[in-house]
Amino acid sequence: MTPQPNGPTPDSAPVPVADTATGPTGDRAAGALIDVRGLTVDFPAGDESVRAVDGLSFRLSAGQALGIVGESGSGKSTVAAALLGLHHGTGARVSGSVEVDGIDVQAASVRELRRLRGGTAAMVFQDPLSSLDPYMAIGDQIAEVHRTHAPHVSRREARRHAVTVLDRVGIPDAARRSRSRPHEFSGGMRQRALIAMALACEPRVLVADEPTTALDVTVQAQILDLLHELRTETGMGLVLVSHDLGVVAGNVDDMLVMRNGRAVEHGPVGTVLAAPREAYTRELLAAVPRVETPRTPVATAGAVPASAPASGGDLLLEAVGVRREFGRGKNRTVAVDGVSLSVAQGETLGIVGESGSGKTTLGRMLVRLLEPSGGSVRHQGRELTGIRSDLQMVFQDPVSSLNPRRSVGESVADPLRAAGALTDAEITRRVRELLERVGLDPRWYHRYPHEFSGGQRQRVGIARALAPGPRLIVCDEPVSALDVTTRAQVLDLLAQLQRDLGLALVLIAHDLAVVRQASDRVAVMRRGVVVEEGPSDRVYDAPRDPYTKSLLAAVPVLDPVEAAARRAARGSVGALLGTAAG
Amino acid sequence: MADRFRGVPFVAKRLLGAALVLLVLATVLYALFYLVPGDPAQLACGERCSPAQVAQVRGQLGLDESAHAQYLHFLQGLFAGRDYSSGTSVQHCAAPCLGLSRQNDQQVTTLILAGLPATASLAFGAMVVWLTLGVGTGLLSALRRGGATERVLTVLTLAGTGTPVFILGLLLMMAVCAYLQWLPFPSYVPLTQDAEQWAWNMLLPWLTLGLFESAKYARLTRSSTLEVLAEDHIRTFRAYGVSERAVVTRHALRGALPPVIALSAIDLGSMMGGAMLTEQLFGIPGLGRLLIDSVRSVDLPVVVGVVLVIGTAVVVANAVADVLYALADRRVVLS
């Protein structure tokens, strides 16, 4: 919890908002902590080179926060790496100037760079598991980094300091846990440990590259709150790189939107989000699913009344008390613990939950890819005993769920061949129809998965699921690997297919906004159990279960003022409940 | 909470499993007695033996019993020891009794124990060479990636892998002993007899076997170091200003060495059965030479004994390698 009273401004850092309102090009004090001018980064690729960053300029004053947003490939992470001179010796060509705390990163000697890294600007990485040394105790790693920047400190003192910073970032029982290795920490605790490593050197600016992307929404909120709290307490600057506009909105003063290596728009976060000047920013904002917006009534335009709850007549699939256990003996875990659900024809049931809640296991049992350990799944009133062609699945990762050695047409044709009812010519014709139906050119039949973008590959996955003519498709995180604009397109495609074909969908996702945008009814899962189920609008607007409430409260919002208010509310709840499991 | 290290119960379990594996191995080898063509008694006695003498030898070797009874006696000798009578005197063969050599009636265990010090001298010394040379070159070529150093080292290691050990040994011997005359032609001196002479005489065999093996280790070290250097946690420490030397020695090496340790343990294990070519080349009276000699003279009890020793060494070395691996990387769960 922040020690000072929470004002209406998103941030209580000493820099006045009016100053930032003059725009990023406005002449701020000469004491800019970070000054980037015309930064251009080229990566050699064969004989040519790829320009990742193209003439980017920005400044950051001490104690300020800058958000850099963009879709994958926009160059935002390259900018973050350039701030610490991480391109030295990698073959990348960097031009323009990068100055951090008066050090010219381009011209700096190895010694100066080492002092800069960690001492002046510390980096927090995306994946906290792979970013820590798996062979070493966490406390030792932090102590090592600390001693790098404070050579006079003894080994023992450094170790004590590591415990202090671990304690500071909210690791319970820090002295004992400092002896743990990274794999013994949960995702949230690992990210806290990485932040503790950054804190150990008392840097002037923290560069956080997608610090919460690998985390669940409630843990994400805790980490973002921690970053905010540390910033107000220590007055360090923050560069927050994220693909998620919501993450950036509540945590920065200025915002920089990047696309193809260039700055599209740059200004105070409130202005950019409320009144974007550039078309691309508007497009990006429009594509962000909002957890507070009810579903657009596209599906009701079809023949089937979509928002009607599953009633006896059009009941398609029903799960009654299904259970699933993994492992034996001491290692036994219950992934799904007695879940009852029903899906009516033509409706969309959303299943939300954090990682490990059992939602994927449940989804696989619904199409019988997994056999339940207990309970039953009924299809139109009859017990489901094996895989059926009218129950299909679309998988999360469009890269690994397609065979890289088969053309996409062949992949889509596989289920038709397996059915054995059609001749080769008929199969080819049908595959071309399906490709067209999901918005792909039928002439791409003979192309291979690596030739397609992420969104296109997911369309192939959808075409493959459609091939046997299913009545229901379980979509397991169908858009979580996609950029926000692509995500919106794939969700639109699913809605359209549902309308045209009267399909029932089960949409499994960790993203609450995605589920709301696309579902008639929602089930919220936690630790293998459905804690709340009901029509989407009811669950989202008037949640009854405390877990649903905490999930919804943790969703990042696009309005900086609202974000600050929510953070304050979370702070007080957190103080009451004690630290939640991180 | 830090996981408690479960090394001891693991080793106990592994050794029990190993004992079973060795028993199966012993049985399979024993079956070989009956698959090898020719009459063992005739072979043991020699070609000019009269039928009566052959029958007498058959009785002494216990070959007149049924296969079943012979097997039980073999197992009995293995676990409890057995007695052999040679007409007048009775020879007792103590607990892990592997039988008598058919060549000279000596106990197989005695022959093995006589050869073991020479073999162990060779194997451990060679390991020191391949660990220092192999790991050193591997590391160097990983760190100098893309440079001239790496290209030279790559050619050298390729040449090393491609040169048969006896060619390497002969070339070394010709260069060092015949041409330069820095060392006398090696002849084995036991360590217990004269440590200095032992070391001087073992120098060439160590270098030969160590050089040959180090090519493999250089390649393994290089690839596993490069793999670790590409990992995210290395980037973290670089991004925190940790010096390149500390990054390599404290973080990269720690991740790169476990596979090297594991392979070393296995190689060492299999060399305990004798690095045959090297022993033969330098006239080292080790297990490798014993094995070659006994195969040549169809001395089956000795063959079975040496193969069992190799099996034991490999199995034990494997268990030790697993424990070392788990000690280095605590994510590995011993089970």
Interchain pair B235, A127: CB under 8 A: no
Which chain B residues contact residue A194 at CB under 8 A? Answer: 236
Q: Say how many Å lie between the first and final Cα of chain B, rounded.
A: 19
Query: How far off is chain A from B289, nearest CA to CA, in Å?
Result: 43
Nearest chain B residue to A180, by CA: B2
What is the identity of the amino acid at A195? I
Nearest to B241 among A130, A131, A149 (CB): A149
What does the alpha-carbon distance between residue B325 and residue B306 come to, in Å, rounded to a whole number? Answer: 28
What does the alpha-carbon distance between residue A60 and residue A56 come to, in Å, rounded to a whole number? Answer: 13
Nearest to A140 by CA among A171, A173, A182, A107: A182
Nearest chain A residue to B331, by CA: A183
Whether A246 contacts A558, CB under 8 Å: yes
What is the residue whose two structure tokens read 């005197």?
A: B89
Cβ of residue A291 closer than 8 Å to a chain B Cβ: no
Whether A215 contacts A191, CB under 8 Å: yes
Nearest to A123 among B3, B233, B239 (CB): B239
- Phi first, then psi, for residue A573 (nearest 5°) are -65, -45
Which one of A100, A123, A131 would you mutate to disrupt binding with B, by most B Cβ within 10 Å of its Cβ?
Answer: A131
Whether A264 contacts A257, CB under 8 Å: yes
pLDDT tens for each residue of A108-150 = 898 899 999 998 999 998 877 789 998 889 999 999 999 999 8
Tokens of A412: 């889509």
Interchain pair A114, B243: CB under 8 A: yes
Determine the 3-state secondary structure of A328 from DSSP.
coil
Cβ of residue A83 closer than 8 Å to a chain B Cβ: no
Among A260-264, A374-378, A570-574, whose mean pLDDT is lowest? A570-574
pLDDT tens for each residue of B235-274 = 899 999 898 888 888 888 888 888 888 888 888 887 876 6
Whether A300 contacts A307, CB under 8 Å: yes
Tokens of B107: 């106990």
What does the alpha-carbon distance between residue A500 and residue A494 come to, in Å, rounded to a whole number? Answer: 10
DSSP state of A107: T
Q: What does the pLDDT read at residue A286?
A: 87
What does the alpha-carbon distance between residue A13 and residue A167 come to, in Å, rounded to a whole number? Answer: 23
Interchain pair A113, B238: CB under 8 A: no
- Phi first, then psi, for residue B274 (nearest 5°) are 100, 125
Cα–Cα distances (Å) from B83 to A318, B26, B30, B99, B100, in that order, read 76, 20, 19, 10, 10
The predicted model gives A409-413 an average pLDDT of 92
Q: What does the pLDDT read at residue B334?
A: 64
- Phi first, then psi, for residue B6 (nearest 5°) are -100, 60
Helices (H) and strands (E) counted in chain B, each on its own, are: 15, 2
Cα–Cα distances (Å) from B38 to B13, B32, B44, B290, in that order, read 41, 12, 11, 22
| Alpha carbon of residue B295 to chain centroid | 18
Interchain pair A123, B2: CB under 8 A: no
pLDDT tens for each residue of A484-534 = 888 888 999 999 999 999 999 999 998 888 899 889 999 999 999 999 999
Find the largest Cα–Cα distance for chain A: 78
Q: What is the pTM of this model?
A: 0.75
| Residue A21 in this model has a pLDDT that exceeds 60 | no
What DSSP string runs through A149-197?
H-TTS-HHHHHHHHHHHHHHTT-TTHHHHTTS-GGGS-HHHHHHHHHHH
Nearest chain B residue to A116, by CA: B241
Cβ of residue B3 closer than 8 Å to a chain A Cβ: yes
Nearest to A134 among B240, B250, B329 (CB): B329
The size of the A-B interface in CB pairs under 8 A is 87
Which chain A residues contact residue B1 at CB under 8 A? Answer: 176, 180, 184
What does the alpha-carbon distance between residue A292 and residue A289 come to, in Å, rounded to a whole number? Answer: 9
Handedness of CA A433, A437, A441, A444 (dihedral sign): negative
Mean pLDDT over each residue of chain B, to the nearest integer: 82
- Report the share of chain A in percent with pLDDT over 90: 46
What ipTM was predicted for this assembly? 0.74
Cβ of residue A84 closer than 8 Å to a chain B Cβ: yes
| Alpha carbon of residue B61 to chain centroid | 30
Nearest chain A residue to B256, by CA: A135
What is the identity of the amino acid at A427? I
pLDDT tens for each residue of A322-376 = 999 887 777 788 889 999 999 999 999 999 988 888 899 999 999 999 999 999 9
pLDDT tens for each residue of B181-211 = 887 778 888 888 888 888 888 888 898 888 8
What is the residue whose two structure tokens read 């589920």?
A: A515
Q: Which residues are CB-contacts of A497 (< 8 A; sequence separation ≥ 6)? A: A437, A438, A462, A466, A503
| Residue A27 in this model has a pLDDT that exceeds 90 | no
What is the residue whose two structure tokens read 């093996």?
A: B213
Nearest chain A residue to B237, by CA: A145
Q: B300-328 vs B108-129: helix axis angle to the nearest 10?
A: 40
Whether A131 contacts A114, CB under 8 Å: no
Nearest chain B residue to A138, by CA: B2
DSSP state of B107: B
Whether B71 contacts B30, CB under 8 Å: yes
Nearest chain A residue to B258, by CA: A135
Tokens of B114: 């006589």
pLDDT tens for each residue of A217-254 = 888 888 899 999 889 888 899 999 998 888 899 889 99
- Report the share of chain B in percent with pLDDT over 90: 4
Interchain pair B328, A136: CB under 8 A: no
Which chain B residues contact residue A148 at CB under 8 A? Answer: 240-243, 246
Determine the 3-state secondary structure of B84 from DSSP.
strand
Burial grade of A410 (CB within 10 A; 0-12, 13-18, 19 or more): middle
Q: Which runs of consecutive H residues, i.e. helices, occur in A446-541?
A: 454-466, 484-501, 512-518, 536-541
Query: How far off is chain B from A179, nearest CA to CA, in Å?
Result: 7
Q: How confident is the model at residue A73 (pLDDT cuts 50, 70, 90)?
A: confident
Cα–Cα distances (Å) from A498 to A462, A501, B202, in that order, read 12, 5, 79
What does the alpha-carbon distance between residue B118 and residue A430 come to, in Å, rounded to a whole number? Answer: 74
Q: What does the pLDDT read at residue A355?
A: 83
Which chain A residues contact residue B329 at CB under 8 A? Answer: 134-135
Tokens of A459: 């369309």
Interchain pair A132, B233: CB under 8 A: yes
Nearest to A134 among B3, B250, B331 (CB): B331
Interchain pair A118, B239: CB under 8 A: yes
Interchain pair B235, A131: CB under 8 A: yes
| Residue A289 in this model has a pLDDT that exceeds 60 | yes
Q: How confident is the model at residue A18 (pLDDT cuts 50, 70, 90)?
A: very low
pLDDT tens for each residue of A44-62 = 877 888 899 999 999 999 8
* Alpha carbons within 13 A on the beta-carbon side of B188: 23
Query: How far off is chain A from B18, nearest CA to CA, in Å?
Result: 26
Handedness of CA B55, B57, B59, B62 (dihedral sign): negative
Low-confidence ranges of chain B (pLDDT < 70): 1-7, 33-34, 37-38, 85-88, 273-274, 330, 333-335
Nearest to B2 among A113, A132, A184 (CB): A184
Q: Say how many Å lie between the first and final Cα of chain A, rounded.
A: 15
Cβ within 8 Å of A, B 152-181: none
Which chain B residues contact residue A121 at CB under 8 A? Answer: none
Which chain A residues contact residue B3 at CB under 8 A? Answer: 184
Nearest chain B residue to A144, by CA: B242
Cβ of residue A114 closer than 8 Å to a chain B Cβ: yes
Interchain pair B242, A148: CB under 8 A: yes
What does the alpha-carbon distance between residue A137 and residue A133 come to, in Å, rounded to a whole number? Answer: 8
The predicted model gives A33-42 an average pLDDT of 93
The predicted model gives A473-491 an average pLDDT of 88
Whether B1 contacts A176, CB under 8 Å: yes
Cβ within 8 Å of A, B 227-246: 231-233, 235-243, 246
Q: What does the pLDDT read at residue A333?
A: 83
Whether A245 contacts A276, CB under 8 Å: no
Nearest to A143 by CA among B231, B240, B330: B240
The predicted model gives A20-26 an average pLDDT of 41
